[in-house]
Amino acid sequence: MRNTQVEKIASETISKHGLPGFVFAEQDVYEQEKDKVFAQGWASIGCAQQLKNPGDILPVRMAGVSLIAIRAKDGSIGVFHNVCRHKGAPLVDEPCNKRTLVCPYHKWSFKLDGELMGAPRFYGSENKPISSEDKADKGLIPVRFAVWWDIIFVNISGDAQPFEDFIKPLDDLLSDYPSEGMQMVSATDYSGEVNWKLAVDNFLDGYHVPFVHSQACSIESALGQDDLFLSDDIVGLRLPHGASAKPAKTAKQIPHWPGLAEDKKGTQQWFGIFPNTLFFVDPVWVQTIVVKPTGANKTDETLSIYVTSEEAASDEYTAERARLSDVLNEVNQQDIELLDKLQHTRTSQVADQGHLVQAWDQVNMTFHKMWLRKMQNT
């Protein structure tokens, strides 16, 4: 499928006005994105700590695919297409815990590692179990995946660069943070009538924060923003003293990252990992947002919040963690409400005459150009 309108978008136009409005609205653009943007790259689907116990299963629908992440009996994680190998029925509709997966259509059953266990009356009137030979090629189809900072990334096509190479610039930048100690506080699902790119663009927009989220950030703090350009797939923003300049979110200080240098205890950084992973690192908490498009103008999100250590996850800080979750979800809800309105105006031709601002919009411009490169295969 080709979209000649997309092919005609010039990088110079993006530098002045951003992407044209039609790319946030048209179904044929979304259909192309399913392969060129989501299947070919490393997209996130959820977080490993959403699968706390063996048998936990997390179904995800995103950009035309249906997947399941599973915590196996040995504690390992696997990712599979949520598609029965008989007639393609979905195996799981909601998060759940199971010992085996049973297709609701014809009762084919699968182990947590994807292996086919049984298929009733597979041989018709000859009532005997399906043979090992006939089972061999009928297991669930696995998906290439990686887990980093608790985020589960998938590469649907199987053709993307090694994940370690993809994430290395950001991994190196955050090498002083002991991410293995992170403890999930909450995971909250959202839905919006908005194109997924507007959700990503908003997260990377530091300009709006002191105005839309004045309870969380002052304009004086935002003026210290540094732009971060780490690779062709990763951009971000940094406030060297952002946490220090903001009002405390909790009455009692939640513990900082263990061993974090003093000069980093005020630093806030947030990143867009193309295409759909939004990631915020604070001195005392971490936030991830997995953006899951389900249509040209429909997007689901899962916002996960973490503290940085077992100490911070202890009973001593129960009230502080609850307050932190409330504040960060309040911020995200403000964005969701804004984005639902923005979907109607940003997709108009009048919005194509908007002007990006040199002082604030460089990261957004870069995200737009990332998208254009993928779509034009350049």
pLDDT one-digit tens code per residue, 259-300: 998 888 889 999 999 999 999 999 999 999 999 999 999 999
Domain stops at, among 146, 168, 193 = 146
Separation CA 343–CA 192 (nearest Å):
10
Pairing of strands 183-192, 151-155: unpaired
Burial class (CB in 10 A: 0-12, 13-18, 19+), 13: middle
**CATH code for the domain of 194:** 3.90.380.10
Residues 320 and 205 in one domain: yes
Give Cα 336 distance to the centre of its chain: 15
Residue 158 lies in a domain: no
pLDDT at residue 58, rounded to an integer: 98
Q: Read off the CATH number of the domain in which 103 is found.
A: 2.102.10.10
Written as one letter, the residue type at 26 is E
Extract the residue ranges of the chain whose pLDDT is less than 50: none
pTM of the model: 0.95
Q: Does 187 lie in the same domain as 135?
A: no
Q: Are residues 90 and 61 in the same domain?
A: yes
**3-class DSSP string for the chain:** CCCHHHHCCCHHHHHHHCCCHHHHCCHHHHHHHHHHHHHCCCEEEEEHHHCCCCCEEEEEEECCEEEEEEECCCCCEEEEECCCCCCCCCCCCCCEECCCEECCCCCCEECCCCCEEECCCCCCCCCCCCCHHHHCCCCCCECEEEEECCEEEEECCCCCCCHHHHHHHHHHHCCCCCHHHCEEEEEEEEEECCCHHHHHHHHCCCCCHHHHCCCCCCHHHHCCCEEEECCCCEEEEEECCHHHHCCCCCCCCCCCCCCCCHHHCCCEEEEEECCCEEEEECCCEEEEEEEEEEECCEEEEEEEEEECCCCCCCHHHHHHHHHHHHHHHHHHHHHHHHHHHHHHHHCCCHHHHCCCCCCCCHHHHHHHHHHHHHHHCC
Q: What is the pLDDT of residue 209?
A: 86
Same domain, 298 and 187: yes
228 lies in the same domain as 366: yes
Please check whether residues 13 and 61 belong to one and the same domain. no
pLDDT at 230: 98
What is the structure's pLDDT at 210? 79
Range of the domain at 117: 44-146
Q: What is the pLDDT of residue 4?
A: 81
> Tell me, what's the pLDDT at 249?
66
Residue 241: its pLDDT value, please? Answer: 82
